Structure 1
Amino acid sequence: MKNSHGLLIAAAVAFVGVTGCTTKNYVKSQTAPIVDHTNQLEQKTADNNRAIHDVDDRATAGIKQAQSAADSATQNAQNATKAAGDADTAANDAVHRADSLDSVVKGLDNYKSMANVTVNFGFDKAVLTKDDKDQLDSFAAQLGTAKSYILEVTGGTDSIGSAEYNYDLSNRRADAVVQYLASKYGVAAHRFYLIGIGKDKEVAPNNTAEGRKQNRRVEIQLLSNMSNGQAPATTSQAAPPPPSSN
């Protein structure tokens, strides 16, 4: 009996051991897919996060690039607006100078045109040639006898180039004439009225080479105040009749 009882106990223990192992294996077999699925979800989540970051980085880079392009376009537009404003200001200044000279001359009825001369320049040039200087020398010969005179010096250009550049070029041409007359003939600065009108007032059509050549010029006009410093004219009176003879 004791042996039988011992065998039953051993068998029960063995059964319990077998049952325990079986239960663990079952639980392990059931939980393993869940763990694998969880790991897969975590991997997908990590992949999705990386993809989201990549998209966000590309979007941020695209926004920066678009903003940079927009900033460049805005700057270009501002530069173009400034250039147009500068050209418009230069044009208004030239018109104002021309109007100012006209008002000075027209306001003095006694100023009369005594002589004039025109010198022409090469393309994009502001340097006097020997022929130009010869013409100015002939013109200046009259200054010694002129009374209370002013010299109207007007520089012009052809139509090639921007308005702003041509205003500057026409001023340099007029200044070349002024410097020559002032240095060689001692003409005082206050006698000059210098204007650079650029391409605003053409004297010949700009669609021909000859016309453009004529527009690349400086016109010098001698204006003299004939009455200034002169005695007023006296009124003639009739001579008294001779005494009658007796």
Structure 2
Amino acid sequence: MISRFGISSGPCVAAAAAALALAGVTGCASKNYVRNQTAPLVDKTNTLSDKTADNNRNIKDVDQRAQSGIQQAQGAANTAQQNAQTAQKAAGDAETSANDAVHRADSLDQVVKGLDNYRSMADTSVTFGFDKAVLTKDDKDQLDQFAGQLNGAKSYILEVTGGTDSTGSAEYNYALSNRRADAVVQYLASKYGVPAHRFYLIGIGKDKEVAPNNTAEGRKKNRRVEIRLLTNMGGGDSGTQAKSATPTGN
């Protein structure tokens, strides 16, 4: 049979149509097969990618925490080293101050020429409140009575020794004892015109107690300044000048 287009529509045409239909079905089946086979692989790949990303984040977090911990540990180590250095310096300063105080207390005979000719003619002491270096009215009255003995003395030195109780560090107490002794020096120098070279000032801190520190009364006695009038029995004042252990003013 011949079609209107001049092409035979016999068995060959039917066979061709069938082949085309089969090819279409086969193509769809192949695509579905491929899709079914590759879908699990894609899912696994995506899962692995997610896990890899999580692992990278976890590794980064761990690294950040580790770095932070290292920095904190380094900071703590640096702080501990600084504290140790500070403590060592404080201990060294305290030892130096203690040695200086002992040296000052033992060196009066080296400072004053012919100290053997000097004799103690009078002495007094004043006490201070806890952590105080200010003279009270009673203290000043007592110093006024003591200063009355200076009028007839032509060749003399005043040994002024400051002390503290045992409360607080050695370094702080050396400074406090010096302030107390300096308060006495300033009062006598300003009110009675005692020249600076007449004073020999010593701050011994808590090194030398005059009473036990385990009682309130004993600690009160240790918070004191002792003043001793030394006069030259030979009457000579030439070349005899006491040097103050700390600066004094008029």
TM-score by length of 1: 0.83
Of the structure 1 ranges 79-88 and 200-209, higher mean CA displacement relative to structure 2 is found in 79-88
Deviation at 1:197, TM superposition (A): 0.7
How do residues 186-201 of structure 1 correspond to structure 2 at under 5 angstroms?
Answer: 186-201=193-208
What is the correspondence of 1:161-240 to structure 2 with a 5 Å cutoff?
A: 161-229=168-236
2:129 pairs, out of 122, 132, 151, with 122
- Pick from 33, 37, 45 the counterpart of residue 44 of structure 2: 37
Q: CA deviation at 1:53?
A: 1.6
Q: Which moved more, 1:56-65 or 1:169-178?
A: 56-65
* 1:113 equivalent in structure 2: 120
Name the aligned partner's letter for residue 91 of structure 1: A
The one-character-per-residue Cα deviations of 1:80-100 (angstroms, maximum 9, x if unpaired) are 233323322322232232222
Instruction: State how far apart, in whole Å, the 1-side matches of 2:93 and 2:16 are.
Output: 113
Unmatched tracts of structure 1, length 5 or more: 231-246
Of 139-148 and 45-54, more deviation after overlay is shown by 139-148
Which amino acid in the other structure matches residue 164 of structure 2? T
- In structure 1, what is the equivalent of residue 68 of structure 2? 61
Whether 1:153 and 2:134 are equivalent positions in the alignment is no
Identity of aligned residues (%): 77
**3-state SS in 2 of match to 1:178:** helix
Paired with 1:23 and 1:45, the residues of 2 have a C-alpha distance of: 33
Match of 2:27 in 1: 20
Greater CA drift, 22-31 or 214-223: 22-31
Unaligned runs of 5+ in 2: 2-7, 238-250
The residue type equivalent to 1:169 in the other structure is: L
1:181 counterpart letter in structure 2: L
CA contact under 8 A between 1:156 and 1:170: conserved in structure 2? yes
User: Is 1:79 matched with 2:66?
Assistant: no
Tell me the alpha carbon deviations over residues 28-72 of structure 1, each in whole angstroms, 9 at most, x when there is no partner. Answer: 222222222222221221222122222222222222222233333
- Report the Cα offset of residue 102 of structure 1: 4.3
- Taking a change above 3 Å as real, the CA distance of residues 24 and 179 of structure 1, as seen in their structure-2 partners, is closer
- Counterpart amino acid of residue 23 in structure 1: S
Q: Equivalent residue of 1:58, what SS?
A: helix
1:154 is paired with a residue of what secondary structure?
strand
Aligned pairs, how many? 230
Let me know the Cα RMSD of the aligned residues.
2.3
Aligned equivalent of 2:138: 131
Distance 1:21 1:181, change over 3 A: closer
